[in-house]
Amino acid sequence: MTTAVKPAKEFLDELWESFMPLHKVAEIQTKQFFAEQGKDKKALENFFHIRLSNERMNMIELSKKVSELPALTDPEECRLLSKQAWDEAEHFRIVYEVLEHLTGEAPDLEAIWKAYGKVDVRMGASLIQKYEAHGNPIMMHLYQYMAEGRAAHVWKTMAEVAGDEFIQKRYDRVARDEKFHSNIGRLMLEKIVTTPEAQAECLSYVKEMVWDLFECSCTSLGDFKTASPEVQQIMLEAYGEPHRGLCVAFNGKEATSKNPNEAVAA
Ligand SMILES: [Fe+2]
Ligand SMILES: [Fe+2]
């Protein structure tokens, strides 16, 4: 039996479409967080402390990635990834400026890093580590395509709901960068998802990444212990039952571990 292979571009377009429910979930949760906690200065500060720490971690992870690229790596790929590492440093600075703008004083980097400097489920950086660890190009580029695309949508939503021109301008800039990072992943994938086996492999990883990114979204946006019924419905309809326990309560099942936000608050 021969398995049909789709042109890589068409396959990747369809894949992008399949991420839309996940983007929708992140958008709903972002809006919900800002509507419920946007006026609470402490909650907002904590939220941006997590964002600041995550951007710093992204910068570290991407710089590591650049320094470990094999000698025979395509020069264009070297250039694009180095640009991404620089962008993440820019995002670190941008969130720093936003915190300064919100509080009127320079953020205490030492205290923030002490509280949030550990790589955990709230940080997309923990997933970069997870998907880089195997040295599998499909896994790495797919994660980049998917996660950076979702991040772009989150920053775009934050820019819309920020209600502050200073913040909005900066978040629009970050959203554009994250979309560019997603496109780097796509560009790399175009070269390798050209066989039925590679496309099947890609689809099998998507199943895991969807739930990883969902957990990241639920836990990074404040004190979420669970997901709202609306969000649960979207996930179930689009992706079915999760294949493993989640760290947030979902579809009548208890959370499998303690929400790290509670650990920090304690
Ligand atoms: Fe970033
Ligand atoms: Fe990024």
The CA distances from residue 124 to 7, 10, 65, 94, 195, in Å, are: 30, 27, 15, 17, 29
Q: Residue 2 falls within a domain, yes or no?
A: no
CA dihedral 50, 262, 162, 249 (to 10 degrees): 110
Question: From the CA of 85, how far away is ligand 2's center (Å)?
Answer: 8
Q: Residue 173 falls within a domain, yes or no?
A: yes
Q: How far apart are CA 5 and CA 231, in angstroms?
A: 33
Question: From the CA of 181, how far away is ligand 2's center (Å)?
Answer: 6
Q: What is the mean pLDDT of the chain?
A: 89
Question: From the CA of 262, how far away is ligand 2's center (Å)?
Answer: 26
Q: What is the CATH number of the domain that holds 172?
A: 1.20.910
124 compared with 64, residue with greater pLDDT: 64
Question: From the CA of 122, how far away is ligand 1's center (Å)?
Answer: 14
Q: Residue 64 falls within a domain, yes or no?
A: yes
Tokens of 76: 């264009």
Q: Note the pTM of the prediction, 2 decimals.
A: 0.89
As beta bridge partners, residue 249 has: 226
Q: How far apart are CA 50 and CA 62, in angstroms?
A: 18
Question: From the CA of 181, how far away is ligand 1's center (Å)?
Answer: 9
Question: From the CA of 86, how far away is ligand 2's center (Å)?
Answer: 10
Taking only the tens place, the pLDDT of each residue in 36-92 is 887 888 888 988 998 899 899 999 989 999 999 999 999 999 999 999 999 999 999
Q: Residue 100 falls within a domain, yes or no?
A: yes
The one-character DSSP state at 226 is B
Q: Residue 1 falls within a domain, yes or no?
A: no
As beta bridge partners, residue 253 has: 250
Starting from the CA of residue 84, give the closest ligand.
2
Starting from the CA of residue 178, give the closest ligand.
2
Q: Residue 3 falls within a domain, yes or no?
A: no
Tokens of 69: 């690229």
Helices (H), the chain: 8-18, 20-37, 41-67, 75-103, 109-116, 124-132, 137-161, 165-192, 196-220, 229-239, 260-265
What domain range is 25 assigned to?
Answer: 8-265
Domain count for the chain: 1
Share of the chain above pLDDT 90, in %: 65
Question: From the CA of 198, how far away is ligand 2's center (Å)?
Answer: 25
Taking only the tens place, the pLDDT of each residue in 177-187 is 999 999 999 99
The one-character DSSP state at 68 is T
Starting from the CA of residue 52, give the closest ligand.
1
Place of tokens 């990114």: 213
**What is the reported pLDDT for 113?**
93
Question: From the CA of 40, how far away is ligand 2's center (Å)?
Answer: 27
Closest CA to 189 of 144, 227, 149: 144
Q: Residue 164 falls within a domain, yes or no?
A: yes
